[in-house]
Structure formats: structure tokens, C-alpha cells
Amino acid sequence: MTYIILYLIDDLYFNKVLDDQNPASNKGPGTDHGGQPPFKYPFSFAHKAVFSGGWTRQVTVRDLAIAKKAAGVQMKLIRGGVRELHWHVSSEWAYTISGQCRITAIDTLGRAFVDDVKEGDLWLFPGGIPHSIQGIGDDGCFFLLVFNDGNFNEFETFLLTDWLRHVPRDILAKNFQVPESTFANLTHEEMYIFASQMPRPLDVERKQASAVTGLVPNPFAFFTDKMKPNITRNGGIVKVVDARNFPVTTMAAAIVTLKPGALRELHWHPNDDEWNYFLKGKARMGVFASGGKARTMNFEEGDVGYIEQSSPHWIENIGTDDVVFIEVFGVPMFESISLAEWMAHTPSRLVDEHIFTGEDFILAINKTEAVIRP
């Protein structure tokens, strides 16, 4: 008994691995204060559902209570593995983390979309638009999905086979003007994510799918390697992908690279909550939630972060390698307000009367948004 008590006094860490990964939570900056709820959820905490064609796991408002307006999914498809033809109410914003995928969809005029995406490419399927994803890389593909609804459930989408199983056979026969026996092989088990053969070559499938109605005029895929960064600074780069350069999108995004020590400057987003995902590196993010509430948390590869609309925040690279993270918004346009830019464009006497730095400091602030500081 004595031995156990001494042990607890000697080592107060109950889960040293997690404590070491989260220094901002257990020895955070002295400026943290109040009851700001957590805004981080590692995908590693999520249940991984495994199928013949791959696996998936999700982070929704049911896991991360603050994430009311967006949810995310990681999905791995093996080579040939298919995410069944399906649709859902929310829009689907996606980023290919590794490998290659074949994606298909149609628009509301029945025009076809078939394309291949690789690491760094993204896609957007608006709500209600039916689509599919298939792994075609040597090791299939691994990707991130973001939905503009915190309550989204990846395991309750409208699946082609689930629906057809729940329509009377005589109605199916009448719908397609064929005998009921046409549907005799319709599976009684859920398909969802299944192993399959590789698709035909892209041009063959595209030609077949687009017969009579043609192809969608604005593709659902976007190739980030074909755009120049919007922001290039000593501390890193930013690529903004929104309705200005990706016409079909209903969701805006920014892909941010921070070099070691660099800071995504103090800012906020007036038009929506920010759902973010860390692709690589080690960072800490500080959020101020008004009423004296402030909190800092640590982030690394595979972690989801969430910042409510107009809550000011900053992100710092605290590791020795680049940090790359994605910011996603459930609105078509990316918008942000920088603290420095605001102060630079407000009468300097007025600002000084708040923060007592002297007006020279205020007058010297960059008149254009820095975005990233080294």
C-alpha cells in the first residue's frame, strides 16, 4: 500500500505518452484561461471500420463536441477497392493524401464526370450529387473527406445497393422496363467498401459515361500542383482553393505550409467555422473564445482541429520539419481578417489608446496582410 502511494507521488503522470504529446494542455502558456472546451480530436481515437476493399474512420460532432458544422473522414481503398456509388445531403470536400483514385459523378443535367486524382489533388461533390471512388494506385489510395455538417455519418449515406434492396422488384422492373429476373443477383449484403477489379482506362470510361449528354463543363476535381501559391513568404506558403478558382465548389479551403518556427499569424474567419487537419509536422494552435477564455493545444499528423466562426487563433510550427495543414470551410469563399492588418488600417492614436505600445509601432505594421510570419 505504502509502495503504491509513493509511486503516485513520484510520478504524477497517469498517461505519460499522451501528456508528452500534449505539453500545451499540461504545461500550457500562462495566458491560457477559463473553460474553453477541446478543439482537437486525433483520428487515432476514432473507430476504424474495415471492409474487403479498405477501411474508414470518422470524426463528427458526436466525437468532438465543438465541431457542430463540419465532420471529417479518413478512408483507405486498396488497389481496385470501391467506395460504393452513393450520395448524401452534405457536400463532400476531399484531399488525396497518397496513392491514386478514380472518381465518378454526374451533374443535375446528367452530364458525366470521370477522372483520376493523385496525392495533393482534391475534389468536391456538392450535396445530393451521386458519386464513387476507387483505389487505382499500386497501393490504392488514402484520402481525407470533409463534410459541411457536424452530424454527418459516413455509415448512413444513400447507397445504391441499399436502396435497390429496399424497392419492390416489380417496381424496379417497371422503372427500367425489363423483367424482374434482371435483378436476381442483387446482393443481400452491404457493399459499401468492397474489393473489385481495376476500372477500364480513363478515356474509355469517360467516353462511355458521357454518351449523348456529354461531360460536366466544370470538373469536380482540382489539381493543386497546377496552381501557384496565393501567398509566398519566408515562413511558408498558402494555396487557397475556393469558388474563385474552383467554380463547382461549395466549400473553401486553404493548404498551408509553415517552415520550422513559422507562425500562421493572429487572425479569424468572419464567414464560417474552420475545420482543420494536420498532414505533417508538429504544431500548436491557440484559440481565444471571448469572455477571457483562451486555450492552446498541440497538433500533429492525423489530428483534426476546429475553430468556431470569428474566434481568433494562431498556429505555430514547433517542430524541426515543415508543418502542412488544411483549413476547410463550409462556404464557397475563403475569408479572413488579420489582427495586424486591422491595426494597420485603424487610426494609430485610437489603437495606441488601447494597447500603449506607442504609435511608432502601430504606424510600422505592414499595410498588407502577412498571413505567415517566419
Shortest spacing between CB 267 and Mn ion, in angstroms: 6
Q: What track of x and - describes contact with Mn ion for positions 36 through 75 (by CB under 5 A)? A: ----------------------------------------
Query: Is the CB of 43 or the CB of 329 nearer to Mn ion?
Result: 329
Rounded to a whole number of angstroms, the minimum distance from the CB of residue 2 to Mn ion is 52
Helix (H) or strand (E) holding 164: helix 160-164
| Cα distances (Å, whole numbers) of residue 315 to 173, 300, 333 | 57, 12, 21
Q: Which of these ranges, 72-80, 270-278, 295-303, 347-355, lies near Mn ion under the rule CB under 5 A? A: 270-278
Query: Considering beta carbons, is residue 155 or 361 the nearer one to Mn ion?
Result: 155
Residue at 68: amino acid letter: K
d(CA 289, CA 372): 22
Q: Total binding residues for Mn ion by CB under 5 A?
A: 2
Measured CA angle at 223 (ends 217, 227), to 5 deg: 105
Comparing CB distances to Mn ion, the nearer of 207 and 230 is 230
Contact region with Mn ion (CB under 5 A), list: 10-18, 68-76, 90-98, 203-211: 90-98
Q: Are 306 and 70 in contact (CB under 8 A)?
A: yes
Q: Report, in Å, the least distance between residue 191 CB and Mn ion.
A: 14
Instruction: Using the minimum distance from each CB to Mn ion, give the nearer residue, 285 or 318.
Output: 285
Counting beta carbons within 10 angstroms of the beta carbon of residue 229, is it exposed (0 to 12), middle (13 to 18) or buried (19 or more)? middle
Of the candidate residues 84, 92, 273, 341, the single one contacting Mn ion (CB under 5 A): 92
Torsion over CA: 81, 305, 259, 310 (sign): positive
Q: Which of 97, 163, 99, 153 is nearest to 130 (CA)?
A: 163
Give the torsion through C-alpha atoms of 366, 342, 264, 271, to 10 deg.
Answer: -140
Q: Which is closer to Mn ion, CB of 22 or CB of 91?
A: 91
Q: Which residues of 101-136 are buried (b: 16+ CB within 10 A; e: fewer)?
A: bbbbbbbeeebbbbbbbebebbbbbbeebebbbbbb
Tell the smallest beta-carbon distance from residue 83 to Mn ion (Å).
7
Q: Measured on CA atoms in the order 333, 245, 224, 230, is the torsion positive or negative?
A: negative
Single out the segment in contact with Mn ion by CB under 5 A; choices: 203-211, 266-274, 338-346, 351-359: 266-274
Closest CB to Mn ion belongs to which residue? 92
Positions in 172-231 near Mn ion (CB under 5 A): none
Positions 272 through 331 that interact with Mn ion (CB under 5 A)? 274
Q: In angstroms, give the least distance from the CB of 269 to Mn ion.
A: 6
Identify whether the C-beta of residue 299 lies closer than 8 Å to the C-beta of residue 278: yes
Residues belonging to the active site: 327
Q: How far is the CB of 284 from Mn ion (least distance, A)?
A: 14
Contact residues toward Mn ion (CB under 5 A) are 92, 274
